[in-house]
């Protein structure tokens, strides 16, 4: 099982949620532009445009979204990208970048709200996810897509573009699929040890973050890897138990990312970051679920087979669907419910250094 987390963390978590309720009640009219990158935890419909098996634009996904519409979010409603955006004053996440490619007449105001480049199944390495899921937009390509957006913003704002980009938030949630790919390396195509693979992943991550900096990004809100060894897709094949090796890999990834971000901060003038410890946040929920109104932390709400962890949330495949979604940690075999995404967003936005450091996302937005 994942390491036990003291109930003290649950108390800290709950105090964060109370202070966030006060923030939301008072509103926020100064919404920064958001540029969002990563994988299915942040994807709001990118993969709808791809030849990919990592798609969620079908029921029961979106059952609690507006008009119960499946949008491509791997969630019953809003995902974590949406929930963070809402805390910053947006109605939901900015639209997928690929939407703007289909609609070249996107208004100036829409472009200046930001875009979401995240793609389900993708990772830091360009090869990640392709064997398992088919076509995905890997992180390097997401950065290249932002470069196109940056050029459009230059055309709109001219000399003011640099300042606009420097005040925008760059939100990133990536890495899980890189670790999954290494773990499922049945073909032996990855000929590296775990430490070498982690080093390669971090070196590549460094390169992509530095490229975003060169394009003008200064404020990086990064969510690290959750305890992926405890998701139903994994535990359903391990007698209902978490896989320690995968969780240890996630912890090592977080530690390496901390070192990487400190290095970038020391090398690059004006580089500000906030790193969210998704591993600790999720373990807090696993250790004290009733404190957060959760009753089910092993089985997915939607799916098939043992723990609903043998297939995705696909109505056409006769997926099971729970009625009490507010009580579940997992929506499907990999992803959290809308409720848990909201808890995560509130914590990265306003949490203390146990969960997000050296500053939280709200403080990051105010940094200079």
Q: Residue 266's CB: how many other CB atoms inside 10 A?
A: 9
Catalytic site includes residue 335: yes
Residues 6+ apart with CB under 8 A from 17: 343, 346, 347
DSSP state of 357: E
349 backbone dihedrals φ, ψ, rounded to 5°: -75, -45
DSSP per residue, 158-223: GGGHHHHHHHSEEEEE--HHHHHHHHT-TT----S-HHHHHHHHHHHHHHHHHHHHHTT--EEEEE
Q: How far apart (Å, rounded) are the C-alpha atoms in residues 346 and 24?
A: 10
Which of 40, 93, 236, 299 is flagged as catalytic?
40
Which of 208, 272, 332, 362 is flagged as catalytic?
332
Residues 6+ apart with CB under 8 A from 39: 118, 119, 120, 121, 122, 123, 129, 173, 174, 175, 176, 177
Which of 176, 274, 335, 362 is flagged as catalytic?
335
Catalytic site includes residue 248: no
Catalytic site includes residue 23: no
Please say whether the beta carbons of 93 and 106 come within 8 A: no
Cite the DSSP H helix spans in the chain: 7-26, 80-87, 97-102, 108-111, 130-133, 139-157, 161-167, 176-183, 194-214, 232-235, 244-267, 278-287, 338-350, 361-366
Pull the structure tokens for residue 232.
Answer: 């139903």
Which positions are annotated as active-site residues? 40, 332, 335
């Amino acid at each position: 099982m994942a390491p036990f987390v003291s109930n003290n963390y649950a108390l800290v978590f709950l105090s964060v949620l109370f202070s966030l309720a006060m923030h939301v009640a008072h509103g926020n009219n100064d919404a920064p532009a958001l540029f969002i990158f990563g994988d299915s935890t942040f994807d709001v419909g990118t993969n709808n445009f791809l030849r990919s098996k990592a798609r969620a634009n079908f029921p029961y996904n979106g059952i609690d979204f507006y008009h119960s519409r499946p949008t491509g979010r791997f969630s019953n409603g809003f995902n974590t990208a949406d929930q963070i955006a809402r805390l910053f004053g947006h109605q939901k996440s900015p639209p997928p970048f690929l939407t703007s490619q289909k609609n070249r007449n996107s208004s100036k105001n829409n472009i200046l709200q930001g875009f979401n480049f995240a793609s389900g199944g993708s990772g830091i390495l360009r090869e990640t996810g392709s064997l398992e899921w088919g076509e995905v937009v890997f992180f390097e390509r997401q950065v290249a897509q932002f470069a196109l957006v940056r050029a459009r913003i230059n055309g709109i704002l001219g000399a003011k573009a640099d300042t606009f980009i420097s005040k925008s938030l760059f939100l990133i949630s990536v890495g899980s699929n890189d670790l999954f790919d290494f773990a499922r390396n049945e073909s032996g195509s990855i000929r590296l040890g775990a430490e070498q693979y982690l080093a390669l992943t971090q070196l590549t991550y460094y390169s992509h973050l530095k490229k975003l900096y060169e394009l003008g990004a200064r404020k990086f809100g990064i969510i690290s890897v959750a305890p992926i060894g405890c998701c139903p897709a994994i535990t359903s094949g391990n007698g209902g138990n978490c896989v320690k090796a995968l969780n240890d890999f996630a912890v090592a990834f977080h530690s390496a990312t901390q070192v990487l971000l400190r290095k970038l901060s020391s090398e690059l003038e004006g580089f500000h970051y906030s790193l969210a410890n998704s591993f600790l946040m999720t373990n807090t929920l696993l250790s004290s679920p009733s404190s957060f109104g959760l009753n089910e932390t092993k089985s997915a709400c939607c799916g098939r087979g043992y723990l609903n962890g043998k297939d995705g949330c696909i109505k056409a495949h006769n997926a099971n669907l729970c009625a009490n979604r507010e009580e579940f940690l997992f929506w499907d075999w990999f992803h959290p419910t809308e409720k848990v995404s909201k808890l995560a967003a509130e914590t990265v936005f306003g949490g203390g250094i146990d969960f997000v450091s050296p500053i939280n996302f709200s403080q990051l937005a105010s940094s200079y």
